[in-house]
Structure 1
Amino acid sequence: MIFNCRAVDQDQPPIHEGFIALTNGELVRTEVRYFSSENFVGEVIDGYEAPVVYLTLEAHAALQNVIAEAANQGLGIKVFDAYRPQQAVDHFVRWAEDLSDVRMKAQYYPAVQKQHLFRDGYVASRSGHSRGSTLDLTLFDLRTGNELDMGTAWDFFDLSSWGDSRAVSVQQRCNRGLLRRLMTRHGFSPIKEEWWHFTLENEPYPKTYFNFPVR
């Protein structure tokens, strides 16, 4: 049952009881680009009503171990996205189907034809992010504040974004490997196509795709 009454909506809890917001601090930065026009669509994405990062309680707990080990190496983490409402994924699908909208092509998918985004796996009707235990992140130097050079930007649709791509330098692959080792040691699994993408192996909601907004 769906209610359209604004008053009822205001009474709803802002976040599922199994989720928690990630707090910014000296060791953790968040940059929620889907709550801005700085993303491959070029506009604020449906379901992102605030620049907040949500994770399941389990993923959040495991991430604290990553943060602690990274800090011991003089590094912090920067998170671009974690929980992603299904309505956001639906927004991506509508955008991908509109072949006339290529305003962000030069920045995010210069070598990919938009009509091939589904075929090549860059856009899909469902995302593991909607289960709440997947996150996109990078590392930064605590001393300088600079992000480690990973060879491509986050959300760059290209083969050079694959974790083991030879299109990037040895140092850039080394930096990707450092991030991958930090994450896998604490229970997260990577995917080969995106150096920034990790999912908690023992995620608590493996078959549930949530749709509550980020607010």
Structure 2
Amino acid sequence: MKFKKIILLWCFSVLLFSCKSTQLDSTKSTVLLDISNEVDENKFVNLKNYSNDFVYDMKYATDDNFLKEKVYPCDECFLRVKTVKSLLEANKTFLENGYRIKIFDCYRPKAIQKKMFQLVPNATYVANPKKGSIHNRGGAVDITLVDSLGIEVDMGTKFDFFGEEASHNYQNLTEEILANRKFLKEVMLQNNFKPFDSEWWHYNLNGSNTDKVENLKWNCN
């Protein structure tokens, strides 16, 4: 009987841990938190709890995306702590220059990655879920810039434009657009991010390719 109790307790603890580990908490803090107090660099946190200086247009929490359907329950931006730290520093530089980051996508569950790849089975634009995207690892952001009036800076194409014009290497653009892309890229490079060649909006935190692919979902409050 004692042995059975031990087994039951162990099974319950495993189940409890599993429940906790497969759901991200969308609860908002009543005050802004200090990211420097987070000691676990790999922990997933909600960016909205650490800054009010970002603009959000989370495309996959709407049907305004290439999937033509809402696939996130709500417009939260979860990232690993180390990603948030670098993103806050990058946004600080943009703010000093009269701009701020507008976010289209952050952490993405692997299940959503599978759906995207089914629609666009081209690894140039959508990572193969067998390998996993940096989005699935909590180390990638899809972003643009807005000015002090909240107007998007002209980057030449829309977000999630699947064509050569979205590439960093594409040069048949106006000087203004090339300068805008260069500004975004330089600041992100200075803050531990690297660009994704075929998408001007996509940036990966350096070293995040070795992090674990996750399929964590989140609740909505």
TM-score, with structure 1 as normaliser? 0.78
Q: 1:160 aligns with which of 137, 162, 165?
A: 165
List per-residue Cα deviations over 1:108-128 (Å, max 9, x = no partner): xxxxxxxxx42x622322311
**Higher share of residues assigned helix:** 2
Q: How does 1:18-167 map to 2 (within 5 A)?
A: 18-23=43-48, 27-45=53-71, 48-96=72-120, 117-118=121-122, 121-123=124-126, 124-125=128-129, 126-142=132-148, 144-167=149-172
Distance between the aligned counterparts of 1:173 and 1:40, measured in 2?
25
Q: Does residue 15 of structure 1 match 2:15?
A: no
Query: Is this contact kept in 2: 1:85–1:214, CA < 8 A?
Result: no
The Cα shift of 1:26 comes to: 5.3
Question: Residue by residue, what CA displacement relative to the aligned partner does 1:139-182 show, whole Å, maximum 9, x if unpaired?
Answer: 1102x211110000011001000013123211101100000011
> Is the 1:164–1:173 Cα contact (8 Å) retained in structure 2?
no
With CA pairs under 8 Å and 6+ residues apart, which has the higher RCO, 1 or 2? 1
Indicate if the aligned counterparts of 2:124 and 2:198 stay in contact, CA closer than 8 A: no
Counterpart pick for 2:210 among 169, 182, 206 = 206
| TM-score normalised according to structure 2 size | 0.76
The secondary structure found in structure 2 opposite 1:12 is helix
Alignment partners' CA distance in 2, 1:41 and 1:195: 20
Kept in 1: contact 2:125–2:198 (CA 8 A):
no
Question: 2:215 is aligned with what amino acid?
Answer: N
Identity score, percent: 27
| C-alpha RMSD of matched pairs (Å) | 2.4
CA offset at residue 199 of structure 1? 0.8
Uncovered stretches (5+) of structure 2, i.e. residues with no partner = 1-15, 26-41
- 1:180 matched to which residue of 2? 185
Q: What is the CA-CA distance between 1:95 and the residue it aligns to? A: 3.0
For residues 86-141 of structure 1, what are the alpha-carbon distances to aligned partners after superposition, in whole Å with 9 as ceiling and x for unaligned?
00011113334xxxxxxxxxxxxxxxxxxxx42x6223223111010111101110
Seen in structure 2, the aligned counterparts of structure 1 residues 214 and 163 have a Cα distance that, compared at 3 Å, is farther
SS of residue matched to 1:149: coil
